[in-house]
Structure 1
């Protein structure tokens, strides 16, 4: 079991780190833009994107799973933030 974990997690460290850097750099303008669309401070979008990226890095994802910001989510969040405030945004995103 330990050899399987080692093979899956550490077999391509260079490629995984490079992919992580590329995704992180691509996510910055996207998170800022979608947070502006949602009507929240751009820092909130950056913090939320970072937090969900860390969670997905440890928990893992599934094929077809969206773990980043999307335009549809940004449009839905506008109404949520206006009616209920920023404190409900995290709960709505995770659950």
Structure 2
């Protein structure tokens, strides 16, 4: 990451707001990749008994339902966690 300010008018100051946004985006991407990796691993292990060249109908249904349940659970946990964070911030 380049912390020079060549693109910021040459003033020599670091745009910390821009850097923070870039870091937030990188964290969000890393979290999404980890979520996808975990979901794929868990659903593959649960639904695929004998890997082959294609998925049969029951494996396809199992994977679709597993991924739906995983995402529903993830969304529930995320909403609950965010609500708790907001309550904690309000108390401060």
TM range, smaller chain: 0.3 to 0.5
- TM-score, with normalisation over the residues of structure 1? 0.32
What is the TM-score of this pair, normalised by structure 2? 0.33
Higher relative contact order at CA 8 Å, sep ≥6: structure 1 or structure 2? 1
Which has the higher Rg, Structure 1 or Structure 2?
Answer: 2
